[in-house]
Amino acid sequence: MGNITFTMIKPEAVAAGKSGAILKRIEEGGFRIVAMKKILLSEEKAGKFYEVHKERPFYNELVEYMSGGPIIAAILEKENAVTDFRTLIGSTNPKEAEKGTIRKEFATSLAMNAIHGSDSDENAQIEADFHFSNQERF
Ligand code: IDP
Ligand code: MG
């Protein structure tokens, strides 16, 4: 048993049929899927999820984008889950993402960067609880 991180495969990657390929990379990276579902976030829910970015100039665009189509949300387990997952997905800006990372391969732009990963253990717990009940975790 390791610790957990929270991820979302973002709308443009889901729409482009990349979910399977991305999930394959996640499992091959040693992450165990604890919980997973395909959901359409309301603007309100997307706004709440990204509330820390409320004052940023891209906030409205981000909320519109993340509520514009279904996402795949998941809780992942691994030792050092948060740090190792951020390494697997790569930099926020795909132009700066390392070769071999999920964002390097699947992102289309800085905004539409294919995947989310929690940035701390504390936020991983908050984000997992935001989307999943205990009964949905295995
Ligand atoms: P992260 O997803 O790598 O943790 P954050 O800085 O937390 O990056 O930003 C959250 C999300 O907001 C990014 O993944 C991306 O989709 C979007 N975003 C970040 N910076 C910009 C920007 O400058 N313009 C447009 N969208 C952005
Ligand atoms: Mg972040």
Mutate to test the pocket of ligand 1, among 10, 50, 62, 85 (most ligand atoms within 8 A of CB): 62
**Res 2: pLDDT:** 78
- Number of neighbouring beta carbons within 10 Å of residue 86: 17
Structure-token pair, residue 103: 């964002």
Q: What is the tally of structural domains in the chain?
A: 1
- Number of neighbouring beta carbons within 10 Å of residue 46: 20
Q: What is the pLDDT of residues 84-100, one digit of tens each?
A: 999 999 999 999 999 99
Spatial contact of 102 and 94, defined as CB atoms under 8 Å apart: no
For the domain that residue 126 is a member of, what is the CATH number?
A: 3.30.70.141
**Res 51: pLDDT:** 96
Work out the average pLDDT over 55-71.
98
Q: What residues does the ion ligand 2 have nearby, CB within 5 Å?
A: 119
Structure-token pair, residue 116: 């989310």
Give the domain range for residue 62: 4-136
Q: From 73, 55, 76, 92, select the one nearest 1 (Cα to Cα).
A: 76
Q: Is there an atom of ligand 1 within 6 Å of 58 CB? A: yes
Q: How far is the CA of 1 from the centre of ligand 1 (A)?
A: 30
Q: What is the pLDDT of residues 32-55, one digit of tens each?
A: 999 999 999 999 999 999 999 999
**Res 1: pLDDT:** 65
Q: Is there an atom of ligand 1 within 6 Å of 118 CB? A: no
Residues designated as active site: 116
Q: What is the pLDDT of residues 112-127, one digit of tens each?
A: 999 999 999 999 999 9
